[in-house]
Structure formats: structure tokens, C-alpha cells
Amino acid sequence: MANKTSKGAKGVEAANSRDDLAGHIEAFLKAGGKVQQIPSGVSGQTSTSGPRQIVLSHKSS
């Protein structure tokens, strides 16, 4: 009897995920979606200013 957590079952799940992703990409492109290639080293972070520490609470005086 096969175990569902065996390496073979995981391979089937991975293949199903790849097929599902490929289907989503194909639908996106057919609907007119465009894929933009971003150069290596470019960040999506727009601002580096602001506080560097997280304040969990402010003590009252």
C-alpha cells in the first residue's frame, strides 16, 4: 500500500502544481497580459526612509 507522503506522491503533486501554474500563465498571456523582465539587482522596494525599529508600545509618563 502506497504512503501519500512518499517521494513519489510529492513528485505527482509538484507536477500537478507545475501544470496548474502553466495553465494560469497561458490564460494570463491569452488575455493580453504582458511579462516584463526585470534586470538583476533591481529592487521593488520604493523607499528606504522611515523608522528602522518597531515600537510595540509607548510608555506613558
Q: Residue 29 belongs to what domain range?
A: 1-33
Give the residue-averaged pLDDT of 32-42: 90
Is residue 38 in some structural domain? no
Is residue 57 in some structural domain? no
Is residue 51 in some structural domain? no
Is residue 4 in some structural domain? yes
> Structurally, how many domains does the chain consist of?
1
Neighbours of 23 (CB within 10 A): 10
Is residue 16 in some structural domain? yes
Report pTM: 0.45
| Cβ(13)–Cβ(20) below 8 Å | no
Is residue 47 in some structural domain? no
| Cβ(9)–Cβ(3) below 8 Å | yes
- Taking only the tens place, the pLDDT of each residue in 46-56 is 776 766 777 78
| Cβ(27)–Cβ(33) below 8 Å | no
- Taking only the tens place, the pLDDT of each residue in 3-26 is 444 567 788 888 889 999 999 999
